[in-house]
Amino acid sequence: MSREEEIRVIETSADRLIDLRHAVLRAGLPREEAIFECDTLEGAFHVAAVLGERVVGCATFHPDLWQQKPAFKLRGMATSPDVRRQGVGRAMLKFAESRLLEKGATRQLWCNARVPAVPFYESMGWAVQSNVFEVPGAGPHVRMTKTIA
């Protein structure tokens, strides 16, 4: 990554995230597998990390329930391999948390996290809430939660 190019985090459309989701999260599957029903839910919003015009990180947040109470679910978070471990995921989560606070939305977040990503989420204040379970086509996951401070 060139020093002249800064990674920016923005709110964007779901369509802009599909290629990265497909490449990172659904590789080897049809592209349609990277399009989620939650993308068009009322209240859903989409976050992208962009380098120049290229999307290098993505995450979707949509209203859902956690233990029968209002929450936002994180889906489809991915970072391009060439920018991993450079703070992209951290920046996207912080951006999304700020947006939720601005919107006056619930402070409860949850997700199904891939097992290898658990240490990253824990470093961001998330906690594991389940045993490991298998997501067909996506591998072992755990449920995780965070209450935004």
Model pLDDT for residues 64-98, shown as the tens digit of each residue: 999 999 999 999 999 999 999 899 999 999 999 99
Evaluate whether 113 touches 82 at the Cβ level (below 8 Å). no
HSE of 104 in the Cβ direction (CA atoms, 13 Å)? 0
CATH number belonging to the domain at 7-147, selected among 3.90.550.10, 3.40.50.970, 3.40.630.30, 3.30.360.10: 3.40.630.30
Q: How far apart are CA 26 and CA 19, in angstroms?
A: 10
Q: How far apart are CA 57 and CA 54, in angstroms?
A: 9
HSE of 121 in the Cβ direction (CA atoms, 13 Å)? 24
Evaluate whether 145 touches 108 at the Cβ level (below 8 Å). yes
Model pLDDT for residues 23-70, shown as the tens digit of each residue: 998 888 889 989 999 999 999 999 999 998 899 999 999 999 999 999
Q: Higher-confidence residue: 106 or 111?
A: 111
Helix (H) or strand (E) holding 145: strand 139-147
pLDDT at residue 136 is higher than 90: no
* Range of weakest confidence among 82-86, 107-111, 122-126: 82-86
